[in-house]
Amino acid sequence: MIISGNFFYRGRIIDCAVEIEDGLIVDISKNKRGKRLKGIVMPAGIDVHVHFRDFKESYKETIETGSLSALYGGVCLVVDQPNTNPPITDEKVYFERMRKAERSTYIDYSLNLGLIEENSEKIKNIIEKIEEKYYIPAIGEVFLKNAMMVSYETLERVRKSTSKIITVHAEDPKEEDDVLAEVKAVERCLKIGNFHFCHISTSKALNMIYESNSTSEVTPHHILHSREKIDFRVNPPLKSNEERIMLFKNFQKADILASDHAPHTIEEKKEGKPGFPGVEVVYPIFFYMAKKGEISLNELVKKFSKNPAKIFNLSRYGEIEVGKYANFVVFDPSDERRIRSDDLHSKVGWTIYEGFMAIFPREVYIRGEKVLEDGDVLVDKGFGEVL
């Protein structure tokens, strides 16, 4: 199969043809012709931080509904987090989760392993058992306070015992000021070793990580919302508008853009449950921002496709390149529209991005197969591969 069009290739948009065999890109050429796609063809997104709930929390999201929402947002692969109910801290629950994903995911799916004090001594053995069948992208997100909390001492011991990426939710348990809590946690962790830091929300912490050998991710909600604007709770908390602006000014220093998709019912939000849904709107909002010149298209691709694949060793993903999966998203830059919660597909049915301008994908291809066109899903649940 040969597809031609305006592809984002090696940092710029070029008119070319992409030849696909068995789901992989085998050639990219200006001399061939094939079915022409209308619009700009981008690498599909990779969201390395989602909470698809399910298990005992299936009333607010499932792998099926979460992956469907991701598909509509131009995401071809997610990394799900282990703080489910029950939590994913041993091989038994991990295998149960993956079997569920095999039956229900619309897109490609992977899953981190949780770290708690109780499994820290045997984490290496658990990893070995799981990786006889599945690929674990990382250990984490590791919590330094609240649910599934581990101590710095345990984190240091596990860091020394495994070469696996460890992702950290950086909030110091003894610090009440939310800005200082993040900065102190990052500072302490950097003294221990290299980590991937989830959802960084302060410019100082981001700069500290940028100057180290560790990596970072930022979220749309910490970049686009401040605590003055929204009083809903999230961890780490939304910061002041001044801090939000500083974080956005340093956006280029972040390695990854991730949604931290963490859906709760609106009733639970009123009760103070932390987290927002968002996997469906990251790419559409930031593609619109790139069109308006607020960020560069190259930075968006690096943070939402290329770097996630590189950092988490997802070798066939992340770029439009020979040897990679033919995972594409086709955007029509003229198709601007406002986000409405009624149009989204997360089970909870609300969004903090109501009214934001966005450009949603017109078509999505996963491993060369068209899976979405003009709002219609063309595959069944279970289509996605489980890593």
| Range 44-311 has CATH code 3.20.20.140 | yes
In whole angstroms, what is the distance from residue 24 CA to residue 40 CA? Answer: 20
Structure tokens at 21: 């065999």
Structure confidence by residue, pLDDT tens digits, 58-81: 999 999 999 999 999 999 999 999
Structure tokens at 50: 């989602």
Residue range 10-28: mean pLDDT, rounded: 97
In whole angstroms, what is the distance from residue 153 CA to residue 15 CA? Answer: 53
Residue range 12-18: mean pLDDT, rounded: 96
pLDDT at position 147, please? 80
Mean pLDDT, rounded, of the chain? 97
Residue range 337-363: mean pLDDT, rounded: 97
Q: Count how many Cα atoms sit within 13 Å of the Cα of residue 87 in the half-sphere of its side chain.
A: 17
- In the chain, CATH 2.30.40.10 sits at 2-41+326-377
- In the chain, CATH 3.20.20.140 sits at 44-311
Residue 53 identity: R
Residue 232 in this model has a pLDDT that exceeds 90: no
Structure confidence by residue, pLDDT tens digits, 150-186: 999 999 999 999 999 999 999 999 999 999 999 999 9
Query: What phi and psi values does residue 229 have, to the nearest 5 degrees?
Result: -95, -35
Percent of the chain surpassing pLDDT 70 = 100
Cα four-point dihedral sign 10, 376, 65, 134: negative
* Degrees, nearest 5: CA angle 81-46-278: 65
Structure confidence by residue, pLDDT tens digits, 87-121: 999 999 999 999 999 999 999 999 999 999 999 99
Whether 52 and 85 have beta carbons less than 8 Å apart is answered as no
Residue range 116-141: mean pLDDT, rounded: 97
Q: What is the residue-wise DSSP string for 275-309?
A: -B--TTTHHHHHHHHHHTTSS-HHHHHIIIIIHHH
Structure tokens at 90: 């041993």
Burial (Cβ within 10 Å: 0-12, 13-18, ≥19) of residue 268: middle
- Cis status of the peptide bond prior to 271, with omega within 30 of 0: no
Residue range 23-46: mean pLDDT, rounded: 95
Residue 371 parent element (H or E): strand 369-373
Q: Confidence class of residue 33 from pLDDT cuts 50, 70 and 90?
A: confident
Residue range 348-372: mean pLDDT, rounded: 97
Residue 342 in this model has a pLDDT that exceeds 90: yes
In whole angstroms, what is the distance from residue 68 CA to residue 217 CA? Answer: 23
Structure tokens at 53: 């709930």
pTM beyond 0.75: yes
Q: Confidence class of residue 231 from pLDDT cuts 50, 70 and 90?
A: confident
Residue 222 in this model has a pLDDT that exceeds 90: yes
Q: What is the DSSP letter of 33?
A: -
pLDDT at position 146, please? 81
Residue range 112-138: mean pLDDT, rounded: 97
Whether 177 and 184 have beta carbons less than 8 Å apart is answered as no
Q: Which CATH number fits domain 2-41+326-377: 3.90.1150.10, 3.40.50.720, 3.20.20.70, 2.30.40.10?
A: 2.30.40.10
- SS3 state at 348: coil
Cross-strand partners of 21 = 24
Is 343 a catalytic site residue?
Answer: no
> Which is the catalytic residue, given 255, 260, 374, 376?
260
Residue range 257-275: mean pLDDT, rounded: 95
Whether 223 and 248 have beta carbons less than 8 Å apart is answered as yes
pLDDT at position 213, please? 98
Placement of tokens 């529209």 in the chain: 337
Whether 67 and 380 have beta carbons less than 8 Å apart is answered as no
Percent of the chain surpassing pLDDT 90 = 97
pLDDT at position 267, please? 94
